[in-house]
Structure formats: C-alpha cells, structure tokens
Amino acid sequence: MSIMDKLKDMLPGSAKEKEASLPEAEQIDADAVGSAPDAAADESPKTGEAAVTDVSAQDANETAATSSATADHLTIRVDYAEEEARRETAPVSQRDILAARVIECLKARKFRYTVQRDDEKILHITMNMMMNGKLNSCVMHVFANPTDIEAVCVCPIKATEDVRSQVAEYITRANCMLKFGSFRLDYRSGEVRFACALSAIEGTPSLKDVDRTIAIPFLMMNRYGDGLVKSLMGYGNPEEDLAAILRQPPK
C-alpha cells in the first residue's frame, strides 16, 4: 500500500469508516428501503388482482339480481297464465247456461229487450209486446234462474177490489183448460199475470223448449185477454166470455 492510500484511510469521514460507524438498525432500514421497490412491484399485481376480483364479484351480484328479477317476472307471468287457464277450464254455472239460451232465443226472434238485472243468481229481461185484442200491449219478464227459466206476461190493467172475485173466477175457469203455465191474480195489488216455467236443474235445454216457454205467456194473454178485460171492467160473465173465446180459433 502506498503512503497516499494510507493517508486516505486515515482521513475521517471515509466511506469505509462511515459504513463501519452505521448502527445495525440503520443498515437494516437501508436494506429495507433498498428492497421496497421490489416489494411494491410484488404488491402491484396483487392489488390489480383484488380489483379484478371486486369487479367480478360486483358483476356476479348484478347478474344474480337480474336473474332473480327475471325469475320473479317469469313466475308472475306463469301464475297469470295458470290463472287464465283455470278460468277457462272452470265449470260454467247452470244459470249462465240458461241465460245464454234465453239471449240466443230472443236474438233469433229479433226481439228488443232490456236487461234489468244480470248477476250470478238471476238474469232479468223485460220486453214491451204489442197485442191484437182488447189489450193493446203487455210487459214480458224473462228470468234465467240457477235451476229454471221463468217467463211472465203482466196485464197492463189491474183488478180493483170490487172486481177481483169476478177476475179470479174467470182466470180459474181458464186455468182448468191450460196445460202449460197459468193465470195468477195478486189479491194485494190486483196485478194479473200469466207465468210459465221450464225446469233445467242440469244440462242445456233446447232452443225450442226455451222459445216455447217464453212464447206461451204472451200467447195466452193475447188469446184470453178479451174476456179478461170484460171481467176487469166489471161487465163480463166469466163462464160465457170464456166459452165465446174457446169457440174462436187461436189468434
């Protein structure tokens, strides 16, 4: 070693001296600082992987939520379809069958009618009918009930108290000759009507049966109306008036 090298080593603050004078802790920290870039480089991929994982988890949650909503929507639609199918296959009530028959019959005859009531228990239809006798018109009522069809023809003239016994005699004599339906007198109000019914507890009655049930009250009121009017006015003779009607051909 030369004299100059020896002098450099002896000088204070030399590199070797500084390195030797550093505490062990500082040397460790210096090593840690030196290795920090490598550690950061190692952690960067991990942070990126975590971010990717979080995004993937969020996408999975959104997909699951969308799938759940879609499943709920499909469930609602399926339930609605099942409900519609159940309604279509639900048994039709007997009242609905009879009501449909009544409407079909009236439309076939081209009658003008008014629906007064239409619910699960009854279909009530009214019609104003013109007549060709002493009674110029009458009101027809047709009822479609759960087990039968009833047709009623109401006389426009009511029996007063002083002639009700005479009217009762006339319609009683007439009823003895009738096969379907009958005349009826309400002693409380004086209303006179002819009623006819078709029993149909189950099954669908034919249109001919429904048509006849509706037509009979009108035809009977039209046929026996002249003698009825005489009794209603108080100048008739029930026995003679009825005999005179029976000698005539049906109107």
Does residue 177 share a domain with residue 130? yes
Per-residue pLDDT tens over the stretch 147-181: 999 999 999 999 999 999 999 999 999 999 999 99
Mean pLDDT estimate for the chain: 79
- Please report whether residue 145 resides in a domain: yes
- Please report whether residue 1 resides in a domain: no
Query: What is the pTM for the complete model shown?
Result: 0.64
Does residue 42 share a domain with residue 103? no
Does residue 233 share a domain with residue 120? yes
Residues 50-55, mean pLDDT to the nearest whole number? 51
The reported pLDDT for the residue numbered 33 is: 45
- Residue 232 pLDDT > 80, yes or no? yes
Q: Alpha-carbon distance 26 to 47, whole Å?
A: 30
Beta bridge partners of 115: 125
Per-residue pLDDT tens over the stretch 183-229: 999 999 999 999 999 999 988 999 999 999 999 999 999 999 999 99
- Please report whether residue 105 resides in a domain: yes
Q: Which of 99, 135, 120, 159 is nearest to 217 (CA)?
A: 135
The total number of structural domains in the chain stands at 2
Does residue 205 share a domain with residue 184? yes
Does residue 48 share a domain with residue 28? yes
- Please report whether residue 167 resides in a domain: yes
- Residue 35 pLDDT > 50, yes or no? no
Helix (H, G, I), strand (E, B) or coil at 52: helix
- Please report whether residue 227 resides in a domain: yes
- Please report whether residue 10 resides in a domain: no
The reported pLDDT for the residue numbered 28 is: 45
Does residue 81 share a domain with residue 102? no
- Please report whether residue 26 resides in a domain: yes
CB 115 within 8 A of CB 160: no
The reported pLDDT for the residue numbered 62 is: 59
Q: Which of 170, 171, 196, 191 is nearest to 183 (CA)?
A: 171
Segments forming the whole domain that contains residue 113: 94-247
The CATH number of the domain where 242 resides is what? 3.30.1460.70
The rounded percent of the chain whose pLDDT value lies above 90 is 59
Per-residue pLDDT tens over the stretch 96-131: 999 999 999 999 999 999 999 999 899 999 999 999
